[in-house]
Structures are given as C-alpha cells and as structure tokens.
Homo-oligomer: A and B are copies of this chain.
Amino acid sequence: MDNRSSEKSTSPHYDIVIIGAGPVGLMLSTCLARWGYKIKHIDNRAEPTPTGRADGIQPRSLDLLRNMGLKSAIMAHKPARVFEVAFWDPPKNGKGIVRTGTWASCPSFIDARYPFTTLVHQGRIERVFISDLEKNGVQVQRPWTIKGFKSDDKVDPEYPVEVHLEHVDGHQRESVRAKYLFSGEGARSFVRDQLGIKITHKDPITHVWGVIDGVVKTDFPDIKMKCTIHSGHGSIMVIPREDNMVRLYIQIASSTDADWSPRRTATAEQVQASAKKILHPYLIEWERVEWYSVYPIGQGISDKYTIDHRVFLGGRCLNPAIIDNKYAKLFSQRPPAAKEVQAASEQTSEQAEDNAFVKTFKESCEFTSGYGVAYKPNALNWSPAHIAKSSLINPRGSKLRTGRIMINADVTRVVDANVVHLEQEVPLNGAFRIYIFAGEPAVTSRALEDFALRLSSKGSFYSSYLRPDIDSVSHHEKHNPHSLFFTICTVFAAQRSHIEITQDVPSLLARYRDHIYADDRWDRRVPDAKAAAHAKMGFDEERGGVVVVRPDGYVGIVTSLVEGSGTVDALNEYFGAFCTNKLGEKMAQL
C-alpha cells in the first residue's frame, strides 16, 4: 500500500515520529509514551541489538533509570560494575607493564547513589525500554526506514512535519504527519544529511582502535577492573562486562606510525596478537569472541541539533559519553607517568600538579559520572538574567545549583515510616517537583499556611494548571491529585514521630500525604547536622526553603520560605517565564 499520494488530511497524525530504536530513541519514546503522547517509532533493524556491544550506564543515568522504575530490570542481568580504574605502564627500567596506580571511577567528591559505571549488553537495555513501551501501547515498527520528510507550517500549523516511511524491503510505504520528528539514528543519520547539518570533526582522526568483546583466560590481575594500559607495543583499555566477558579496546594504528592510514583495518586475530604483545608478560587467550570491530577515533559533533524546532537530532548512546574524546586523545598520545596518577588520586590531591592529564582526568570524572551535566541559564534554569527578580530567589547558603542535578538525601516518609531517597520519590512522570524544606514546624507554620493559601489563589502558577478531572481523582492518587504538572513534597526538620500531618501541614500540602517527610536521617557528609537533608541543600534548619526541580531531576529555581505572599510570588515569576497559560486567568478550584 502506498500512502504517499494520499491527501494530507487523511494521513495518520502523531505527536512525534522517532527514527531509530537505540537507547536514545527508546529513552525519548518511553518517556513520551508514559505521558500519553501518540508516537510513531521505527527502526531499520529487524530486532534489537543482538549479542555483543556492551553499553556503559553512568552513575547519573542509573539514577534516571531508577526514577523511571527500570533500574531493577537492568540490574537483573547482573552487569559488571566499575568502581575503580587501574593504570598500567612500562616500568622505569625494564620491559613489560606494571600497575602504577588506581583511581575511583566515581570519586567520593561526587555525591552519587551508585558510584560505579554499569556495563551491560546494549540489546538488554533496549529490551527493557521496549517492554515498558509496549505496556504503554507503543510498538517499534521494524524493519522500517525513513525516505523523506518536509516541515511546513503553512500546510498544517499543528502537524507541520510530513514524514515518508518505507519497509526496508521496499514493498510497503506509509506517510504520516507529526508535530515533531526526532532522529536517534546516530552517526549515519538520514535526517541530518537531509537537513544539511554537518558533523564537525573537531579533531582529525589520529588513532584507529580495535574492540573485542569476549571471554578470556588470562593471568593479568586486573582483568575485572577498568584499566588503561600503556606499553612499548601500544595501548589497551579494559572494560569488564557481565557473564565473565570483557571488552578490550586495543590501539592498532596511530598517526605517528610510518604506515599511518585513518582507514587502517585489522582482523580479529591481528588485534588479539597486538593485545598479547601489549599485555606481556601476562598471558591472554580468547575462549570466545562475542563481537569485534575496528574504528577510528575522531569525535564528531553536530553543528546544530535542530533547524526549526520541529526536526531534532539525537545520538545513539544513553550517556553523554563513555569515552570522551578529549580524554581518549590524551590517553592515546602518551602514557601518564606514575606520579601523575598519584597526583590525581584523592589522598594526595593537595600535591596535584597543573598537569594536563591529571586535570583532564579529574574533570572527566565528573563528566563521565553524569553528575557534571550543567544546563545553561534559560527560562527553566534560573540565573540573575532570568525575568524572575524576587529577592527571595537563590537564598544565601543554598548549595543547590540551577541547571544541575538535585542533591541526594535520605529522609523518612511520615505516613509509613519508610526510609527513602528523597530525589527518587517523585517518579519521572513529566511533572515539576516542588520541594518545600519546611524547617521546624513551630517556626514555619505561618509561612506554610501562607504558601498553601497563595498556591490556591486565583491565577497562581499552581491553580492555573489544575486537572480538568480534579473532582473525580481517586484518593489513592499520590503524585498528581490536583495538577498533572506539579507534585509537592514537604520535608520537616523534625523527628518523624513528632510530625502530625493533620496538625502540622496545611490541607493543600497534606493532600500529598505520601510526600511528607521527616529530615531525621543521619548523613556522613554532614555528620553534625540536626537535619541532614536541609544541611546538604544549604537551607537553614529552622526556616527551610523551597526548590523547584524540573521533571528530569534538574534544579530550576531555589527560594526562601517566608510568611506572606513572597515565596509563591517568586515562583509565579519563574513559571510565568515559560508557562503558556497566562497566569491569573483561571479560577482556583482547590
């Protein structure tokens, strides 16, 4: 059936068309499916990634997967967990290699729930997303490919993008209209080519690497660690995997070689022979090779990710980067000396030199853990340039940074006395998370009453986005009883047994009874704090403060909690910067 010639108005309409069902396309699809959007998702492969290809999940990505309720399905595969990186180098006088140091892969200066990288077969990650998608009624259409698209506001302002799809066998075709088109095709992107967006090779290709996933027999002692190995014969990076497997990246050519070619290739046997030389005096043999490839290193970065905000480009990889090019390049160029690794280690950080390797490694720890992601100021991420100018914003002492992830904290849930991870309490469901750190009940009771009153006032950001079905919402609804766009959490600096919800919490906030917490858990990072979560966020333990966290877990704005209308006024200014409902128009119904 060829739909391409059909009338525009009869084409099926979707909120979004997603091309490519790698981890990035699937992450987007999974989120949007949960929020009820109508999705057309295609992939040109007949099935998810088969055997081979480990994918590394960063500490921060694991937080995110947990927030989506998908972490346990991934951990059920018993992935390898990388806590440390070991460095191996040629000894000063002699041949072979020796361990010159180790480094925490997510050092304790990063406050991570899961301070390790998780290595698991990419197909398994894909299947976890696919299974969740199917629960929400979305099937990835396979093996289908994109043949063309056009974005034109004038033809249809609501569904401006026309997309032509085709079965890979060429016999079936389909045309659809969508609000948005997203390409998760990765490096070889049809959509990017059509848009004429170029890949900028910031660095020319200077190294060619082989990669082998498989099961080995070796006496190399760090085969279950992440290692960077330099020897007179070249370099290897070791990445452990699940099921006794290991991934080895093996350098097979460098631009400094006499016979250098960026198109250099090699057989699996040749790459294994290189590995044996580099690892000498240790022995290594492959019992099984699961997957094998050769590729040049030269990080490509797109000039742009969209032209008209209707058609977007994404990558294929779940994390911003597993091997960042800057580090990989540095690592390829020359081995770090033992003293550099030493200087980079936490114990002796005061001796650290201003050394490119050490500095890059330290920076890349934050980056590769995912905790280094920092969104720039804009309407969502408050900065002094934001239109919200209230003096209550960004109170003195706050340790929360807008555009950065919310700080982790343990608290006790009041209704059931469960000890919980505060930052995980609102599932990833598209809603903003308003955390009221309510300090001491006796001190803040008036401020809390005022906050609740102003929230329910006509025209507040909150009462402008009430659910149309607010009167028929089940009393079991935990997260969004009033609005699909907001969940409110209230955290008191008090022992759980001293908090009486019916007395201490205004009724609007008390409706979120599963989101009322006692900040009464001891935390080693603030051992002397009376209320550890307040202290970690940098709030006064008596007076508290308010944090708005974006639906993806990043901090939007931080304000003081005061009596009167000031706190909600400040939040109205903030939300007014990007809310499409004009605040103040709707009647409050609370």
Contacts and interface: CB of A to CB of B under 8 A. Distances in A.
Contacts of A75: 72
Contacts of A83: 412, 416-419
Given A72-B75, A244-B476, A221 B501 contact: yes
A217 interface: yes
A217 B102 contact: no
Contact of A72 (B72, B80, B497): B72
Contact of A76 (B72, B102, B417): B72
A224 B415 contact: yes
Contacts of A525: none
A225 interface: yes
Interface residues of A, number: 34
A171 interface: no
A221 B414 CA distance: 10
Contacts of A501: 221
Count identical subunits in the complex.
Answer: 2
Contacts of A223: 415
Contacts of A419: 83
Interface string A206-244: 000000000101000111110000000000000010001
A475 interface: yes
A93 interface: no
A366 interface: no
A502 interface: yes
A416 B82 CA distance: 7
A117 to B, nearest CB: 12
A418 B81 contact: yes
Contact of A415 (B225, B412, B475, B524): B225
Contacts of A222: 415
A88 interface: no
Nearest to A478: B244
Contact of A84 (B217, B224, B417, B500): B417
Nearest to A115: B419
A184 to B, nearest CB: 28
Contacts of A522: 524
Contacts of A497: 102
13 contacts: A72-B72, A72-B75, A72-B76, A81-B418, A82-B416, A83-B416, A83-B417, A83-B418, A102-B497, A221-B500, A223-B415, A224-B415, A524-B524
Given A81-B416, A221-B500, 14 more contacts: A72-B72, A72-B75, A72-B76, A81-B418, A83-B419, A84-B417, A84-B496, A221-B415, A221-B502, A222-B415, A224-B416, A225-B416, A244-B476, A522-B524
Interface of A: 72, 75-76, 80-84, 102, 116, 215, 217, 221-225, 240, 244, 412, 415-419, 475-476, 496-497, 500-502, 522, 524
